[in-house]
Amino acid sequence: MPENHPEQFEKLCELSTRAHTLQGISSLLSWDQETYMPEMASPIRAKQCELLAELAHDIKTSSEFEKTLNRVIDIASGDIKEKGLTAPQEAAAKVYRRDFVRDRKLPTAFVQEFALVTSEAIPVWQKAKIGNDFASFEPTLEKIISLVRKKADFLGYDKHPYDALLEEYEPGCTTAQIGDIFEKVQEKLTALLKHISEKPTIGDFDIPAPESEQMEICQLLLGHIGYDFKRGRIDISSHPFSSSYHPYDSRITTRAESHGIVSQILTTLHEAGHSFYDMGRSVAAQGTPLGDPISHGIHESQSRLWETRIGRSLPFWQFFYPLLQKRFPQALVGISIDDFYKKINIVKPTLIRTDADEVTYPLHVILRFEIEKELTSGALKVKELPDRWRAGMKKLLMVEPKNDTEGCLQDIHWSMGAFGYFPTYSLGNIYAAQLFETFAKDHPDWESNVRNGQFAFIKEWLSDAVWQHGRRYNGEELIRKVTGKVLTHEPFINYLTAKYSTPN
């Protein structure tokens, strides 16, 4: 923390910390809801989340907050008014202003209703997914989409209502920008996929094991990569996630019904990547923009980097495969490390996004991006969604779900009202690839280090490049600062092409 004490700025931080504390409590309630909460508590949990959302929103849009903010930065013009701010504090003031202008556009009653409806929607979606019963989820989804469209209207937009929604997850990014990048990614990956599909594939591969053994391996892995169990923990939930409200309490979960050990390891690396970012941000700046993560896309870049660039790399398995062999000698008998590496990197279009390989994954995201745009603009009706999904899967991935459980009901996001979230998954890969290019230049020996079970240097590099800054930069600015180049899909495509075009 800087040693200057700008009075109004500090007052602002105090107020935002109160709101942040309430939002942190909400995160914990959500973690509990997904892990341990008794099922009948759902409606009560919804009420709790609604009240916390209301109270946090009240603080962030209060006249006290507005007055204080306006003494730090002119809300109308964006000019800094308080003297003596450091450069990061000036950047934070601008983020405060951006958030305030945005938050104030949403009436408290709307924020409450949104929190209530989406909290109630989650169990409805869960049941619909289990029972392959889209019709039972339809009215709820309709209500959510009408709220989402209302939200876009409240927030305002120039070109597409989806712009307003994206801004929440990826500040500074537009629908058109993402559309451009995704178009190129789709073109390149479709070509790559065609090339790969022409080769024989060897089918799915994983090592089945009881839940307790899977958890044991995840814990072992977390120990090796330096996950701090004094500040985090790992549990089981139906949909794996990371939950963080503070660097001192950042928890991850892994999947209840997993294909096996390999899938759990990759999921654990993914969630640990999120958690490292959450644990790595400034403790002193918690509750202020300088303690917050930049965006969902940058968050995802951290998880994808660990999952794909480390977890799907040969050096990682040269380190970890012998440990697995020791634990599961029978399942792995006669499988060399090279065979194993090939088996877990098979590219094959499948139905479920979270099971997808690196090449087909972005195509799952592109489908959701297209559908979200259509639902948001009103071009697609909720009742048409299952058909639209099937057609999209066929076109992009050449596979077609037999039912909605493995189709449009597979993801939790829409029940949470999180429209605008999906694109950040693939942006995460794109950011990660560009960051990793620079990382690999800074650490030309990274492969031998990882092969030796060393991981701390990766975290140090990420801390320096990304974690320490809070929201001082937005995603694009950060990429430019770290890599010296504008954001581009090229490192991502180059990586995939190099990895998957070589003869199997």
Min CB(51)–a second copy separation in Å: 5
Distance of CA 177 to the CA centre of its chain: 19
Distance of CA 448 to the CA centre of its chain: 29
21 binds a second copy (CB under 8 A): yes
55 binds a second copy (CB under 8 A): yes
> What CA–CA distance (Å, rounded) separates 251 from 99?
26
Note if 271 is an active site residue: yes
294 binds a second copy (CB under 8 A): no
User: Where does residue 341 fall: left (phi above 0), alpha (psi -120 to 50 degrees), or beta otherwise?
Assistant: alpha
Min CB(18)–a second copy separation in Å: 7
44 binds a second copy (CB under 8 A): yes
Q: Which of 3, 40, 77, 159 binds a second copy (CB under 8 A)?
A: 40
> What CA–CA distance (Å, rounded) separates 257 from 407?
18
Lookup result for tokens 């320490």: 468
> What CA–CA distance (Å, rounded) separates 487 from 184?
13
101 binds a second copy (CB under 8 A): no
230 binds a second copy (CB under 8 A): yes
* Contact indicator for 360, 376 with CB cutoff of 8 Å: no
Lookup result for tokens 């892994």: 254
370 binds a second copy (CB under 8 A): no
249 binds a second copy (CB under 8 A): yes
Q: If we measure between CA atoms, which residue out of 28, 14, 24 comes closest to residue 62? A: 14
198 binds a second copy (CB under 8 A): no
Count of residues that bind a second copy according to CB under 8 A = 34
39 binds a second copy (CB under 8 A): yes
Min CB(43)–a second copy separation in Å: 7
Q: If we measure between CA atoms, which residue out of 431, 492, 440 comes closest to residue 303? A: 431
87 binds a second copy (CB under 8 A): no
DSSP 3-state of 125: helix
End-to-end CA distance of the chain: 51
25 binds a second copy (CB under 8 A): yes
Give counts: helices (H), strands (E), the chain.
Answer: 20, 3
Min CB(117)–a second copy separation in Å: 18
Considering the complex, state which of residue 208 and residue 229 has its C-beta at the smaller distance from a second copy.
Answer: 229
- The CA–CA distances, whole Å, from 354 to 236, 267, 307, 376 equal 16, 9, 12, 24
- Amino acid of residue 147: L
Min CB(246)–a second copy separation in Å: 5
Q: Identify the active-site residue in 50, 82, 120, 271.
A: 271
Stretch touching a second copy by CB under 8 A, among 25-33, 69-77, 127-135, 469-477: 25-33
Q: Which of 32, 338, 339, 460 binds a second copy (CB under 8 A)?
A: 32
Stretch touching a second copy by CB under 8 A, among 51-59, 179-187, 265-273, 339-347: 51-59
204 binds a second copy (CB under 8 A): no
DSSP 3-state of 63: helix
> What CA–CA distance (Å, rounded) separates 348 from 351?
10
Residue 251: DSSP 8-state: E
Stretch touching a second copy by CB under 8 A, among 44-52, 65-73, 124-132, 359-367: 44-52
Min CB(219)–a second copy separation in Å: 14
64 binds a second copy (CB under 8 A): no
Considering the complex, state which of residue 156 and residue 223 has its C-beta at the smaller distance from a second copy.
Answer: 223
What's the number of CA atoms in the CB half-sphere (13 Å) around residue 107? 7
Residues that bind a second copy (CB under 8 A): 18, 21-22, 24-25, 28-29, 32, 36-41, 43-45, 47-48, 51-52, 55, 228-233, 235, 245-246, 248-249, 251
Instruction: Tell me which residues are annotated as active site.
Output: 271
